[in-house]
C-alpha cells in the first residue's frame, strides 16, 4: 500500500462512526483494537455488569470494577490511553426502543459481540432496515469466525437458520434419563421452573404412573408452601416428593423397566440428619447486606472448590440449603425466576438436584464446574481467540468503510491446521432468495385453525420463532393483534380478548388459505404467513401443535426438490447442545451429489463462558463451495 492509499484509508477510519454491540470478551479486545487503529468515534451498547469470572480474559476490567457497567468501564479504560477520541457508552439493552432504525442510521458500520440469538436477529433486522453494514463475530474455545453482512450484496445473518437446540422427549426427561444432561434438563427446566418460576406455566413433575393419573391436585399442594410452613420441612417435602415418591410412582409401571435398570427412590431421612441446624452454618448466618446475585449455599456448608465432586449427602445438603436461601434472601423473585448460568445459587441448586437424580438412576455424578458447563452449554473461553477475532473484525470493518466489496471475507479460526492454515478466509455468500427477513419470502404455517388460539400463534410462532418484539398481526384489512405503549384501554381489551379466541373465531376468521401479515414496527420487518389448516399433529414430534416452514426452504432448481427443515418441532423439552444444522438452502450453497457424506455442512450452537454465542460452520466444507483466498 503506497502513501496515498494509506492516507485515504486513514481518512475512512478517522471519519467513520462505529457502533459496537457487546463489551465482553471480544468487545474489550475490539474496542482496544479500534482505538489503536485510529477510529475516532465509537459507540458501545452493553446491558451487562462486570463479574469476577470475566477478569481472566476481559482485560479492560479489574477487580475493583466488579458490579459496574461493562460498557462504561471499557470506555473509561480505553480513554486513558486514547483520551482524544470520542467513545460513548450505553448501559442498556440493544432491544430498548431508543435504539431504533433512526439510531442505527447514524452509523457507518455495526460490529456485533452479543450473547444470544434473539438480540443478534434484532440487530440484523435493524441494520437491514437502516441499510447499515453489519460485521458479526463469535468465539468458542479455540474456534472463531467473523462474517460480513451487507444488504443486497451478501446474505443477512438470518439467511440460514441457526441450529435448533438439542431436544429430548418429555418421557426421557421425566421418567427414563440415561445421561447426566437429562438430569440437568430435568433440574433446570422442570424442577427449578416449578419451584421458582412462573406458577401458571404448565409443568407436571409427577410421573404418569398407572396409579398416579389423578394426582395433579396433590402435586399442587406439594409444591405450594403454606405461609406458616417451616422451611426445613418444606424442603424435605419437596425432596421426598421428587426423589422418592415420583421414583416409586415410575417403578410401578413394570413395562417401562423390562429392559432398563430400575432407579432407586431416595428419601431425605436416608441421607440428611434429623436437624439440619447441626450442619455447618445456616441461612441465618447470611448477612442481610449480601448481594442477592452472589448469595451462595456452598460457604455455609464448608464447600469451597467448584471442581470437587460432591457425594449424595453433600448434594442433598446443598439442595436444601439453596432452596432455603431462595426463600430467605430472594423471596421477592420467586415466581419470576428463570435459570441463569451466572446466578450462583441457581447453579448450585440445579447441580445438586441433577446429581441426586443421577444417583437415583445410576448415572455418574458431576462437579458444580462440570454441571454449570452442561447447563449453560459452556465451552471455556480463550483470550487469544478473542484477540484474533477482534483484529479480523477491524480488518473487515475497514473493507466495508472503503466499500471494497470484492475483498469482503468470512474468516474462520481453526483449532488445528487445515491445509497448513489456522485462519481460513472464504468469500461471503449471496443473499438467500428464500430468506423471509431480507427476501420477503412467504412462510407456511400448518395449524388447526379451529382449536389453536391466537395466543398460541403469538407465543409459539411470532415471538419465539420469528423473534418479533412489538408484533402487529393483520388478516386482510382487519387488525387482529398489536403491541405498543400508545394503545388505549379499549384497544388493549379487544386485542386481549382476541388472544383467547381460536383462529377461526376471530372477527376476521383465519381459516385454511388465509394469509396473515405479521410486522414488527421497531424492527421495520414485515412478512407473510400462508395458513394451512391441519387436523392432527404428532404429540411427540410436533408438541407445539403447529409447524412453521419456509424459513429454510428455497425454490427447487435443476430438478432438485426444495429443502425444508423444521428441526425445532421435533421434541418437547429442549437444551442447547452441539447439533447438526439444516442443509444449505440456496443453489449457490447446495452441495453436489458427488461430495462425500462427511463433507456436508456441520454447525454447532455453543455458548462460551465468555459473552459471545456463535454458530460455527465447518470451514473445510465451506471452502469447497467457495473459491479459497490464497
Q: Which residues are known catalytic residues?
A: 171
C-alpha cell at 529: 404467513
Q: Is 550 left (phi over 0), alpha (psi -120 to 50) or beta?
A: left
C-alpha cell at 118: 434473539
Distance in angstroms (rounded) separating the CA atoms of residues 482 and 472: 4
Q: How many CB atoms lie within 10 A of CB 585?
A: 24
Q: In degrees, to the nearest 5, what angle opens at C-alpha 134 toward C-alphas 131 and 138?
A: 160
Task: Name the burial class of residue 223, with classes exposed (0-12), middle (13-18) and buried (19+) by CB atoms within 10 angstroms of its CB.
Answer: middle
In contact, 284 and 231? CB cutoff 8 Å: no
C-alpha cell at 271: 441421607
Q: How many CB atoms lie within 10 A of CB 520?
A: 21
In contact, 287 and 300? CB cutoff 8 Å: no
The torsion of the CA quartet 138, 144, 145, 146, rounded to 10 degrees, works out to 60
Distance in angstroms (rounded) separating the CA atoms of residues 195 and 192: 5
Distance in angstroms (rounded) separating the CA atoms of residues 401 and 467: 29
Binding site for ATP, by residue number, is 22-27, 46, 54-57, 70, 115-120
C-alpha cell at 480: 387482529
Distance in angstroms (rounded) separating the CA atoms of residues 267 and 243: 7
Considering only the C-alpha atoms of the chain, give the largest distance between any 2 of them, rounded to a whole number of Å.
Answer: 84
In contact, 393 and 146? CB cutoff 8 Å: yes
Distance in angstroms (rounded) separating the CA atoms of residues 120 and 137: 10
In three-state secondary structure terms, 107 is: coil
**Cα-flanking dihedrals φ and ψ of residue 418, to 5°?**
-125, 120
Rounded alpha-carbon distances, angstroms, from residue 336 to 80, 199, 289, 478 = 41, 9, 22, 35
Distance in angstroms (rounded) separating the CA atoms of residues 253 and 208: 9
Give me the DSSP letters along 348-395.
HHHHHHHHHHHHHTTPPP--HHHHHHHHTTEE---HHHHHHHHHHHHH
Distance in angstroms (rounded) separating the CA atoms of residues 441 and 397: 29
C-alpha cell at 473: 398481526
Distance in angstroms (rounded) separating the CA atoms of residues 112 and 27: 8
Give me the DSSP letters along 129-181.
HHT--EEEEEEETTEEEEEEE-TTTS--TTSSPPPPPEEE-HHHHHT---SHH
Binding site for Zn(2+), by residue number, is 156, 159, 435, 438
Distance in angstroms (rounded) separating the CA atoms of residues 83 and 586: 47
C-alpha cell at 232: 426445613
Q: What is the CA radius of gyration of the chain?
A: 26
Amino acid at each position: 500500500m503506497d502513501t496515498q492509499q494509506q492516507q485515504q484509508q486513514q481518512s475512512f477510519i478517522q471519519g467513520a462512526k462505529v457502533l459496537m454491540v457487546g463489551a465482553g470478551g471480544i468487545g474489550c479486545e475490539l474496542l482496544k483494537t479500534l482505538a489503536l487503529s485510529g477510529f475516532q468515534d465509537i459507540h458501545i451498547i452493553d446491558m451487562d455488569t462486570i463479574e469476577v469470572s470475566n477478569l481472566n480474559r476481559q482485560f479492560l476490567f479489574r477487580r475493583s470494577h466488579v458490579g459496574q457497567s461493562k460498557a462504561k468501564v471499557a470506555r473509561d479504560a480505553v480513554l486513558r490511553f486514547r483520551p482524544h477520541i470520542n467513545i460513548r457508552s450505553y448501559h442498556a439493552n440493544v432491544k430498548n426502543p431508543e435504539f431504533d432504525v433512526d439510531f442505527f442510521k447514524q452509523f457507518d458500520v455495526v460490529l456485533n459481540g452479543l450473547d444470544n440469538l434473539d438480540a443478534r436477529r434484532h440487530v440484523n433486522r435493524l441494520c437491514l432496515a437502516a441499510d447499515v453494514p453489519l460485521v458479526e463475530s463469535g468465539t468458542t474455545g479455540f474456534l472463531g469466525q467473523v462474517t460480513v453482512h451487507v444488504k443486497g450484496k451478501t446474505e443477512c445473518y438470518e439467511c440460514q437458520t441457526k441450529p435448533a437446540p438439542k431436544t429430548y422427549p418429555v418421557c426421557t426427561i421425566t421418567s427414563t434419563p440415561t445421561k447426566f444432561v437429562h438430569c440437568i434438563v430435568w433440574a433446570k427446566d422442570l424442577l427449578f421452573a416449578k419451584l421458582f418460576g412462573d406458577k401458571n406455566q404448565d409443568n407436571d413433575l409427577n410421573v404418569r404412573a398407572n396409579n398416579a393419573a389423578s394426582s395433579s391436585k396433590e402435586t399442587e399442594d406439594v409444591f405450594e408452601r403454606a405461609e406458616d410452613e417451616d422451611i426445613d420441612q418444606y424442603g424435605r417435602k419437596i425432596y421426598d416428593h421428587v426423589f422418592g415418591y415420583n421414583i416409586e410412582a415410575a417403578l410401578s409401571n413394570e413395562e417401562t423397566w423390562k429392559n432398563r435398570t430400575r432407579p432407586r427412590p431416595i428419601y431425605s431421612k436416608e441421607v440428611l440428619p434429623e436437624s439440619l441446624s447441626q450442619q455447618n452454618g445456616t441461612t441465618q448466618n447470611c448477612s442481610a447486606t449480601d448481594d442477592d446475585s452472589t448469595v451462595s449455599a456452598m460457604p455455609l456448608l464448608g464447600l469451597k472448590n467448584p471442581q470437587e465432586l460432591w457425594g449424595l449427602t453433600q448434594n442433598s445438603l446443598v439442595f436444601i440449603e439453596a432452596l432455603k436461601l431462595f426463600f430467605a434472601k430472594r423471596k421477592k423473585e420467586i415466581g419470576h425466576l428463570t435459570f441463569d448460568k451466572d446466578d450462583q445459587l441457581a447453579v448450585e441448586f440445579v447441580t445438586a438436584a441433577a446429581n441426586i437424580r443421577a444417583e437415583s438412576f445410576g448415572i455418574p455424578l458431576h462437579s458444580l464446574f462440570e454441571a454449570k458447563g452442561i447447563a449453560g452449554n459452556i465451552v471455556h473461553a480463550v483470550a487469544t481467540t478473542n484477540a484474533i477475532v477482534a483484529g479480523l473484525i477491524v480488518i473487515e470493518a475497514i473493507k466495508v468503510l472503503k466499500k471494497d466489496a470484492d475483498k469482503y471475507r468470512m474468516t474462520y479460526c481453526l483449532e488445528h491446521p487445515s491445509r497448513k492454515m489456522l485462519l481460513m478466509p472464504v468469500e461471503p455468500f449471496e443473499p438467500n432468495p428464500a430468506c423471509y427477513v431480507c427476501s420477503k419470502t412467504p412462510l407456511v404455517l400448518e395449524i388447526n385453525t379451529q382449536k389453536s388460539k391466537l395466543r398460541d400463534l403469538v407465543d409459539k410462532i411470532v415471538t419465539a420463532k420469528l423473534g418479533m418484539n412489538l408484533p402487529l398481526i393483520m388478516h386482510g384489512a382487519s387488525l387482529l393483534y398489536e403491541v405498543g405503549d400508545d394503545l388505549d384501554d379499549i384497544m388493549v381489551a379487544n386485542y386481549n380478548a382476541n388472544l383467547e379466541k381460536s383462529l377461526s373465531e376471530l372477527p376476521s376468521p383465519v381459516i385454511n388459505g388465509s394469509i396473515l401479515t405479521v410486522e414488527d414496527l421497531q424492527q421495520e420487518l414485515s412478512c407473510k404467513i400462508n395458513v394451512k389448516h391441519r387436523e392432527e399433529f404428532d404429540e411427540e414430534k410436533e408438541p407445539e401443535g403447529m409447524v412453521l416452514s419456509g424459513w429454510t426452504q428455497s425454490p427447487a432448481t435443476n430438478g432438485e426438490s426444495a429443502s425444508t427443515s423444521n428441526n425445532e418441532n421435533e421434541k418437547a423439552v429442549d437444551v442447547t447442545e452441539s447439533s447438526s444444522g439444516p442443509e444449505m438452502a440456496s443453489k449457490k450453497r447446495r452441495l453436489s451429489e458427488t461430495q462425500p457424506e462427511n463433507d456436508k455442512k456441520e454447525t454447532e450452537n455453543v455458548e462460551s463462558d465468555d459473552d459471545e454465542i456463535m454458530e460455527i460452520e465447518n470451514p473445510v466444507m465451506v471452502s469447497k463451495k467457495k473459491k479459497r483466498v490464497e
